[in-house]
Amino acid sequence: MPEAAAERSVGVTVLPNGPYLVTGGVSLVVKSPVLSERGEPLTWRKSAVLEAGTTYALCRCGGSSNKPFCDGTHLSNGFDAPEPERHDRSPEDYPGTGIVVRDDRAVCVHAGFCGTQVTNVWKMVHRTADTDVRSQMIAMIERCPSGALSYALTEDGEDLEPDLPPQIAVIPDGPLWVNGRLTITDTAGQAITGRNRVTLCRCGSSARKPFCDGSHTGAGFRHDPTTAVKSD
């Protein structure tokens, strides 16, 4: 998609071997997981709103000195970002009582909301005849930022999604969390998702670009977005 066309729409355009171009005045915030005393992720906290303007570029090579914003470093650090030919989901279904869990491992960012020290979604699905267990499991799935975990009420039913605003959240030491069914356009100009929640790589290491696959942890990516200065 030409840049001029992108600027007339609301969404995210993936520029070839470059940043994410965000257009349409999309809110940019910082969200961090709230942890239990045992280090278990429980929920999300919005800790800051970043000044970004109507149109802004977000780093995806991991090298910008002005993260989360792009400063042009991709032009000098050899950032090469091939994308898969297809961006289709390929989830595996786990049927329970009154619910079907869908698990797309390829885009898991390992945020950890799917389990505690004593259980996890895959164990809980076998106990969903207990509505308390089913309710807890749904809450855990809805906090999954990437949408790698989703659920439907029947095997042929549509995914039920939390009601999220059009917004981009920067996760400390992690990916960009895109909410609210924002259109994401790939480098060939094709709309690759209209999903309610996805996570985009910003460390430069994902094998599933532009989506995050959890590689930031092994790559040692570190960034505290609350220290960010506003974009140009």
pLDDT for 87 equals 67
Q: Are residues 111 and 213 in the same domain?
A: no
Q: Are residues 121 and 12 in the same domain?
A: no
pLDDT the model gives residue 107: 87
**Number of independent structural domains in the chain:** 2
pTM of the model: 0.91
Q: Using 50, 70 and 90 to split pLDDT, how confident is the model at 127? A: very high
What is the distance between the alpha carbons of residues 200 and 152, in angstroms, rounded to a whole number? Answer: 24
Segment 209-220 mean pLDDT: 94
Residue 76 lies in a domain: yes
Q: Are residues 79 and 98 in the same domain?
A: no
Give the Cβ contact number of residue 195 at 10 Å: 19
What pLDDT does residue 194 have? 67
* Range of lowest pLDDT (86-90, 143-147, 150-154): 86-90
Which percentage of the chain shows pLDDT scores above 90? 80
pLDDT for res 122: 97
Quick one: 108 and 139 in the same domain?
A: yes
Asked if 110 and 179 sit in the same domain, the reply is no
Asked, for residue 232, whether it belongs to a domain, the answer is no
* More confident call, 83 vs 41: 41
Average pLDDT over residues 152-181: 95
Say whether both 52 and 27 belong to one domain: yes
Pair 11, 29 in one domain: yes
CA-CA distance, 219 to 172, in Å (whole number)? 14
* Pairing assessment for the beta strands 92-95 and 100-103 based on DSSP bridges: antiparallel
Residues 25 and 138 placed together within one structural domain of the fold: no
Q: What is the mean pLDDT of residues 126-138?
A: 97
Q: What is the pLDDT of residue 1?
A: 36
Is there a single domain that holds both residue 212 and residue 97? no
Q: Rounded to an integer, what distance in angstroms lies between the CA atom of residue 121 and that of residue 144?
A: 11
Average pLDDT of the segment spanning 211-221: 94
Check: CB of residue 81 under 8 Å from CB of residue 17: yes
Task: Quote the CA–CA distance of 168 and 135 in Å, as a whole number.
Answer: 27
- Residue 73 placed within a domain: yes
Residue 121 belongs to what domain range?
Answer: 92-152
Question: Is the same domain home to 80 and 169?
Answer: yes
Asked if residue 186 and residue 79 are part of one domain, the reply reads yes
Do 138 and 188 fall within a single domain?
no
What value does the mean pLDDT of the chain take?
91
Do 74 and 18 touch, CB atoms closer than 8 A?
yes
Q: What is the pLDDT of residues 8-21, one digit of tens each?
A: 589 999 999 999 99
What's the pLDDT tens digit per position in 184-205? 999 888 888 767 999 999 999 9
Q: What is the pLDDT of residue 5?
A: 45
Cross-strand pairs, 63: none
Work out the pLDDT band at 54, boundaries 50, 70, 90.
very high
Give the count of alpha carbons within 13 A of 18, CB side only.
14
Whether residue 210 has pLDDT greater than 90: yes
